[in-house]
Structure 1
Amino acid sequence: MSLTSDPAGATDPGVGAPTDAVVDPTTSGPPRGLLVALAAGAVTAPLANLVPAVLTLPLAAARIDPAGATSLLSLVVAIGSICSLVAFPVMGRLSDRTTSRLGRRRPYLLGGAALTAAGGIVTALAGSPALLVVGYVLTSIGFSATFVAATSVIPDQIPAGRRGPASAIVGLALPVGVLVGLFAANLVSPNLTAMILLPAALGCVGSLVLAAFLHDRRITAAERPAFDLRAFLRTFYVAPRSAPNFAWAWWSRLLIFVGVAAIQAYQAFFLIAVLGFTAENVAGAVFLTTLVLTGPSVLVAPVAARVSDRIGRRKPFVIGAALIFVVGLVLAATAHTFAAFVVAMAVLGIGQGIYLAVDIALVTHVLPDPANPAKDLGIMNLANTLPMSIIPAVAPAILLIGASVAHPQNFPALFGFGAVAGLVGALLIVPIRGTR
């Protein structure tokens, strides 16, 4: 990875947008219409990837192999997740080096739309486990390409002091996108083919809208970062000694999302085992708690983003949001009624809104190579997704702590583990330099 910056900060006339080097962050906001297009691309990107994992893949797996549906689902999601983890930094590295006349990010928005469409079609028509795997792998890679490109728009085109609203849009894209996708799928339920294809179509349209309205900066071959085998291997790693601020930010985000994943991944089990819900009515409860989690986030995030921009500070918001996460997790761990659990999710939603509104803006201030941000933002996105793999690996052992016949699973211990992880994540923000 090259650690040099763009020496000219130039743009391709008629194509490029100004870089931070030539834009006064105190007087210039985002290009007109960019935030709307960014919202279209970022919010719809998860539809074809996360909605299947939550809703339609289990139904498709049951259609293909009723007896082994759960095992097939685990296999499909595991392979798709691995491909996505690899694709995030690789797509970022390739995007930073792209010299196409279309720009650096637009080809990946178009490619993401194409992969999303292909994946949706293959998944909808899949009649075998192999085709179901292929369909989800295509949508996973398509999501990675689109989301890395959308995230990179922030440091590419928006001045450092005006990134709060864009950070909020991208930060909220995943939870809002899941809700939008679930709503769209329910509109055409129980037609499984339509439930798969409609979210995929919306994802394609969102990527194309952002590609159409993006004034994408074009780089020359001379500006392209150097690339060799060592550079490729470094795609998956940023040395903490050379980029300590980025490393602190990465570990902070990972631990905070571990706390979030602890409750999101196991709330259905908690509702059944502790609060007495049944397998038949837990789905409605999970939708309600997800709505309660997302609603406050959507309301709080724009306010936090604008206040953060106005006062020029990021760290207090991120630390405060992480501490609110901890409070929410503690409330969830001690909840003995569904109403108390809903309150806990609302508190988590407030923390989530503040955090997602500001954290990406903070990260863009500490990128190791600001002129070529996509690769490092791809690595940062791993901190969002890895916890969903980490928590299932460690949760069984944690749930056994202090278990008894009367209480065979210790959910307070799991949520408490998440709270501790979130608290440590908040503390790791403190040593970051280069941003306030």
Structure 2
Amino acid sequence: MMKPSLRDYLGISLFWFALSFFWGAVLILVLPDRVEQLVGSQEKDRVLAIVTSIGAFVASATQILFGAISDRSRHRMGRRRPYLIVGTLLTTVALFAFPAARTVWTLLSVYILIQFLLNVANGPYQALIPDRIPWQYHGTASAWMGICTLLGRIGGPFAASLLLGSERGLFWLMVLFALFLNAFMLLNVWLVHEEPYTGNSPTLWEAIASSYNVPLRPYPSFVWLLLSRLAIMMGIYTVNFCLLYYLRDTLGYREEAFQLITNFMILSTVTGILGTIPAGKLADRYSKRLILALSCLICLLAGMGFLFATDLRVVYIAVGIFGAGFGVFQAVDWALACNLLPEEAPAKYMGVWGIADTLPQVVAPLIAGPVAYSINTQVGMGAGYRVLMLLAMVYWAVGTVVIRYIREREGPQPVGY
């Protein structure tokens, strides 16, 4: 097979920057801050858990549905690009309703709408790696995607930390989100060349009816990887849920919390990129499973260092090490998923793969919110967030252990992996 060009790698990666820019800001700073403004400190945990969980459930269902529909789309622009365009444009309209939300119910409604529309774009888009990149180069492609994701995760929270404290800052942040999403969507549409689908195509209603029929038994290694990522993302979203409150209420950095999160994001992104760049090449040559397990172990040890550190300098060291390990994880985890992906319906199964990211957004807050609320009220404000940090490490350890059951494959094979 022909080696992918730079244009190919950019075409399957750049929109991830805009997505990560948006979600990094919303999940870590924008949504927690907005919820606290609306309901106050005492109720913020429970309300944030409800809002993020419902939104993530909508995202999971939408990714599978529109991924499956796009697998058999006959549009002249190809299978994925039409959904990328429509989903992004409609999301732009919904973004400007977010600053106008003055009640929890309005905020929830707008958040659900944004989750639905943006995942109309994201569900089909995430299948571009298996669509466009030969399996021998999935490691390199995933590294490119990982770099864009890491850059977005630093850019979004950084922009949010600068704008949220200013007058009409939330509105201008939505303007920035809209510009980034649409600019990178147009760039991706230009970079990616898709041919119209020529295989058997069911009717729209047949595609919808079959979208949630996803056989997993023939693909045990794909299932084990799914479970591993699900556990690890449970840890990530537990930390995302409580990081702002952990810094404010547990460690006492109320005024410095936004700046500390920004510093953490910058440091972890720099070290993450340093980890991602070689990881992609190594994943194309050596065992993806082994590299993935080592990266998870590094992240686990760094996370424990963050949790038990009493000196801010040690915290920064732990964050830097975690960033490098997570950069490797980002590249290799996606490469291994593409390696194990069933070929007959890549976007549908990528939608299932996406559940390992979105389902923890539902479950983690539902667990974290009541745990934090209960411990904070019984022991003292801030104690609950330390428990959540420890719980996140437990999730990560489980995800690391599960990797041992995965079997890699040497080339495209339809079943048995």
- Asked if structure 2 preserves the Cα contact closer than 8 Å seen for 1:149 and 1:374, the reply is yes
Q: Do structure 1's residue 196 and structure 2's residue 174 form an aligned pair?
A: yes
Question: For residues 37 and 371 of structure 2, what CA distance do their matches in structure 1 show?
Answer: 34
Deviations along 1:33-73, one digit per CA (max 9) or x if unpaired, are 12223332111124445534444456767888899995876
Question: For residues 119 and 47 of structure 1, what CA distance do their matches in structure 2 show?
Answer: 17
- Asked if structure 2 preserves the Cα contact closer than 8 Å seen for 1:85 and 1:382, the reply is yes
Q: Do structure 1's residue 275 and structure 2's residue 251 form an aligned pair?
A: yes
Query: Greater relative contact order: 1 or 2 (C-alpha under 8 angstroms, separation 6 or more)?
Result: 2
> Which residue among 297, 316, 321 is the counterpart of 2:272?
297
Q: Helix, strand or coil for the counterpart of 2:97? A: helix
Q: Do structure 1's residue 382 and structure 2's residue 355 form an aligned pair?
A: yes
Extract unaligned runs of 5+ from structure 2.
Answer: 411-417
Deviations along 1:80-130, one digit per CA (max 9) or x if unpaired, are 333212111111111112111110011111112212211123335556766
By how many angstroms is 1:355 displaced?
0.6
> Which residue among 118, 121, 134 is the counterpart of 1:146?
121
> Which residue among 182, 200, 215 is the counterpart of 1:223?
200
Residue of structure 1 equivalent to 2:238: 262
Q: Do structure 1's residue 178 and structure 2's residue 153 form an aligned pair?
A: yes
Q: Helix, strand or coil for the counterpart of 2:404? A: coil
Residue of structure 2 equivalent to 1:393: 366
Question: For residues 271 and 66 of structure 1, what CA distance do their matches in structure 2 show?
Answer: 17
Q: Do structure 1's residue 45 and structure 2's residue 19 form an aligned pair?
A: yes
Q: Do structure 1's residue 247 and structure 2's residue 223 form an aligned pair?
A: yes
Q: Helix, strand or coil for the counterpart of 1:336? A: coil
Q: Do structure 1's residue 137 and structure 2's residue 81 form an aligned pair?
A: no
Q: Do structure 1's residue 314 and structure 2's residue 288 form an aligned pair?
A: yes
1:159 aligned partner, one-letter code:
P
- Asked if structure 1 preserves the Cα contact closer than 8 Å seen for 2:227 and 2:402, the reply is yes
Residue of structure 1 equivalent to 2:189: 211
With over 3 angstroms needed to count, the CA separation of the structure-2 counterparts of 1:58 and 1:238, relative to structure 1, is same
With over 3 angstroms needed to count, the CA separation of the structure-2 counterparts of 1:265 and 1:59, relative to structure 1, is closer
With over 3 angstroms needed to count, the CA separation of the structure-2 counterparts of 1:299 and 1:190, relative to structure 1, is farther
With over 3 angstroms needed to count, the CA separation of the structure-2 counterparts of 1:344 and 1:263, relative to structure 1, is farther
- Asked if structure 1 preserves the Cα contact closer than 8 Å seen for 2:53 and 2:366, the reply is no
Residue of structure 2 equivalent to 1:102: 77
- The worse-fitting range, judged by mean Cα deviation, of 66-75 and 204-213 is 66-75
- Asked if structure 2 preserves the Cα contact closer than 8 Å seen for 1:84 and 1:141, the reply is yes
- The worse-fitting range, judged by mean Cα deviation, of 76-85 and 293-302 is 76-85
Q: Do structure 1's residue 113 and structure 2's residue 88 form an aligned pair?
A: yes
- Asked if structure 1 preserves the Cα contact closer than 8 Å seen for 2:143 and 2:276, the reply is yes
Residue of structure 1 equivalent to 2:389: 415
Question: For residues 158 and 333 of structure 1, what CA distance do their matches in structure 2 show?
Answer: 39
By how many angstroms is 1:158 displaced?
0.6
With over 3 angstroms needed to count, the CA separation of the structure-2 counterparts of 1:63 and 1:315, relative to structure 1, is closer
With over 3 angstroms needed to count, the CA separation of the structure-2 counterparts of 1:206 and 1:63, relative to structure 1, is same
- The worse-fitting range, judged by mean Cα deviation, of 50-59 and 167-176 is 50-59
> Which residue among 318, 330, 333 is the counterpart of 2:304?
330
Q: Helix, strand or coil for the counterpart of 1:261? A: helix
Structure (1 or 2) with the greater helix fraction: 2
What is the aligned-residue identity percentage? 25
Question: For residues 274 and 128 of structure 1, what CA distance do their matches in structure 2 show?
Answer: 28
Q: Helix, strand or coil for the counterpart of 1:428? A: helix
Extract unaligned runs of 5+ from structure 1.
Answer: 1-23
With over 3 angstroms needed to count, the CA separation of the structure-2 counterparts of 1:268 and 1:133, relative to structure 1, is closer
1:223 aligned partner, one-letter code:
N
- Asked if structure 1 preserves the Cα contact closer than 8 Å seen for 2:64 and 2:349, the reply is yes
Residue of structure 2 equivalent to 1:340: 314
- Asked if structure 1 preserves the Cα contact closer than 8 Å seen for 2:81 and 2:189, the reply is yes
TM-score norm. by structure 1 comes to 0.81
Residue of structure 2 equivalent to 1:426: 400
With over 3 angstroms needed to count, the CA separation of the structure-2 counterparts of 1:92 and 1:290, relative to structure 1, is same
With over 3 angstroms needed to count, the CA separation of the structure-2 counterparts of 1:406 and 1:33, relative to structure 1, is closer
Question: For residues 404 and 69 of structure 1, what CA distance do their matches in structure 2 show?
Answer: 15
Q: Helix, strand or coil for the counterpart of 1:276? A: coil
Residue of structure 1 equivalent to 2:414: none
Question: For residues 139 and 190 of structure 1, what CA distance do their matches in structure 2 show?
Answer: 24
Deviations along 1:281-305, one digit per CA (max 9) or x if unpaired, are 2221222222222221122101111
- Asked if structure 2 preserves the Cα contact closer than 8 Å seen for 1:109 and 1:208, the reply is no
- Asked if structure 2 preserves the Cα contact closer than 8 Å seen for 1:48 and 1:116, the reply is no
- Asked if structure 2 preserves the Cα contact closer than 8 Å seen for 1:118 and 1:138, the reply is no
Question: For residues 426 and 259 of structure 1, what CA distance do their matches in structure 2 show?
Answer: 11
Q: Cα RMSD between the aligned structures?
A: 3.4
Question: For residues 398 and 306 of structure 2, what CA distance do their matches in structure 1 show?
Answer: 19
- The worse-fitting range, judged by mean Cα deviation, of 66-75 and 268-277 is 66-75
Q: Helix, strand or coil for the counterpart of 1:30? A: coil
By how many angstroms is 1:79 displaced?
4.0
Question: For residues 391 and 63 of structure 1, what CA distance do their matches in structure 2 show?
Answer: 22
Residue of structure 1 equivalent to 2:142: 167
Q: Helix, strand or coil for the counterpart of 1:122? A: coil
Deviations along 1:235-265, one digit per CA (max 9) or x if unpaired, are 4464442221111110011111122233333
- Asked if structure 1 preserves the Cα contact closer than 8 Å seen for 2:123 and 2:351, the reply is yes
With over 3 angstroms needed to count, the CA separation of the structure-2 counterparts of 1:75 and 1:414, relative to structure 1, is closer
